[in-house]
């Protein structure tokens, strides 16, 4: 049976411009919420977010975007980690699947503003929108001729991308797949979430009794997945295996999760069945943990149902913010890194347990020694996706 091995990891978020610096900061409990610096609003008070401070010149007119720059940065790190030489690979056997929801599609405020004023604005932003397929952008950049798909499935997009990549490896369609998620913050997005009343005026506090909402973030998390035999043949190290992936729908509401977490519970059940793992073999869970009232309550309740004896749970969104379509990719990368390091950070901002959640997340740097971990994603539209990773062999 073909299996999908994780041979390379790369990441960029508001917590750090590469995976190593990011994990060093997170393990130390440092986080960097800030007011928006890349755009202005008319709001009386800004809600904090987690920006990537690095600036990226957009060189390829009509194709470059900040989201694609995040992907390239994380991909270059992942390729280096996997010790890959593109020139020695069959590019027809390489796939790309990227999850995003914002991409460059919402960065057109100036165009629409000028258009409504009756002027004839430059259409480069529209061209960029039309060219905003991140997977095809990467394929063109690297001359990759295998399958390329961009997934837009709300906040589970990055998780779904990795799940699809797993299927491509196991079916024999690809020997190697670039997979993950990325998104950027823009004014349109920021004001949209503000108007939904689900962002917090203070740094987020996942699973805390006094949580008031999420903070937005941006960045990318990219994995290199390879078929185990192919990876071994070139001397690559399997840092983890993608043991299972499942997605299930609530079929309930456009934005609110099902009150009983039925979709998430069904996804977790499917992951257990597909992976053959037992609850006692699962080392920790990287929760979706947005710090919104209902998401945390429902996710915590479902976790406690499957792990009545308790399990270490962390929400890394406390450090990265909610990176939307990028979240599943970012958190999957951090989940594998947690397995590699045997460490979980404290869940920043958490102080007071909420009995309705049924769980208490990590409150300090925690050593973990098991062989498996889950990464959860709960998305608008009632979509729930779960990945199971096991320690590499």
How close are the terminal C-alpha atoms of the chain, in Å? 16
The question of whether 155 is a catalytic residue gets the answer yes
H or E stretch covering 149: strand 148-151
Active-site residue (options: 47, 81, 288, 383): 288
The question of whether 186 is a catalytic residue gets the answer no
Across 65-120, where does the E strand assignment appear?
A: 94-99
Q: Tell me the chain's radius of gyration from C-alpha atoms.
A: 20
DSSP 155: B
How far apart (Å, rounded) are the C-alpha atoms in residues 268 and 274?
10
Q: Please count the residues of the chain.
A: 393
The two beta strands, 94-99 and 148-151, are parallel
The question of whether 322 is a catalytic residue gets the answer yes
DSSP 103: T
For residue 51 the two structure tokens come to 């920006």
Task: State the SS3 of 119-131.
Answer: CCCCCHHHHHHHC
Q: Taking the CA of residue 165 as centre, how many other CA atoms within 13 Å lie in the half-sphere pointing to its CB? A: 36
Contact 24, 343 (CB under 8 A): no
Active-site residue (options: 104, 155, 228, 247): 155
How far apart (Å, rounded) are the C-alpha atoms in residues 18 and 219?
10
How far apart (Å, rounded) are the C-alpha atoms in residues 269 and 374?
12
Active-site residue list: 155, 288, 322
């Amino acid at each position: 049976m073909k299996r999908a091995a994780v041979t390379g990891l790369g990441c960029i978020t508001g917590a750090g411009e590469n995976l190593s610096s990011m994990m060093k900061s997170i393990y130390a409990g440092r986080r960097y919420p800030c007011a928006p610096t890349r755009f202005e609003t008319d709001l009386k008070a800004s809600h904090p977010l987690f920006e990537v401070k690095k600036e990226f010149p957009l060189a390829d007119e009509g194709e470059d975007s900040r989201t694609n720059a995040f992907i390239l940065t994380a991909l270059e790190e992942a390729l280096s980690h996997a010790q890959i030489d593109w020139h020695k690979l069959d590019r027809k056997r390489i796939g790309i699947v990227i999850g995003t929801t914002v991409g460059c599609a919402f960065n057109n405020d100036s165009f629409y503003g000028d258009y409504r004023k009756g002027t004839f604005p430059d259409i480069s932003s529209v061209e960029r929108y039309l060219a905003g397929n991140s997977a095809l952008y990467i394929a063109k950049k690297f001359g990759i001729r295998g399958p390329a798909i961009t997934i837009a499935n709300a906040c589970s997009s990055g998780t779904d991308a990795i799940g699809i990549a797993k299927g491509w490896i196991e079916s024999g369609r690809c020997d190697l797949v670039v997979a993950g998620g990325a998104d950027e913050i823009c004014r349109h997005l920021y004001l949209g979430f503000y108007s939904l009343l689900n962002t917090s005026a203070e740094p987020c506090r996942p699973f805390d009794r006094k949580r008031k909402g999420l903070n937005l973030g941006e960045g990318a998390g990219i994995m290199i997945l390879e078929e185990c035999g192919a990876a071994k043949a070139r001397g690559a190290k399997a840092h983890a295996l993608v043991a299972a992936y499942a997605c299930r729908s609530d079929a309930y509401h456009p934005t609110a999760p099902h009150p009983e977490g039925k979709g998430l519970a069904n996804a977790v059940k499917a992951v257990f069945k597909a992976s053959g793992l037992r609850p006692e073999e699962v080392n920790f869970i990287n929760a979706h943990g947005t710090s919104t009232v209902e998401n945390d309550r429902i996710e915590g309740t479902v976790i406690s149902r499957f792990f009545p004896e308790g399990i270490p749970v962390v929400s890394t969104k406390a450090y990265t913010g909610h990176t939307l379509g990028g979240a599943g990719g970012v958190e999957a990368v951090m989940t594998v890194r947690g397995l590699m390091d045997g460490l979980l950070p404290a869940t920043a901002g958490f102080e007071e347990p909420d009995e309705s959640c049924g769980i208490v997340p990590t409150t300090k740097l925690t050593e973990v020694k098991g062989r498996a971990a889950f990464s959860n994603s709960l998305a608008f539209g009632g979509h729930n996706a779960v990945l199971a990773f096991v320690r590499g062999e």
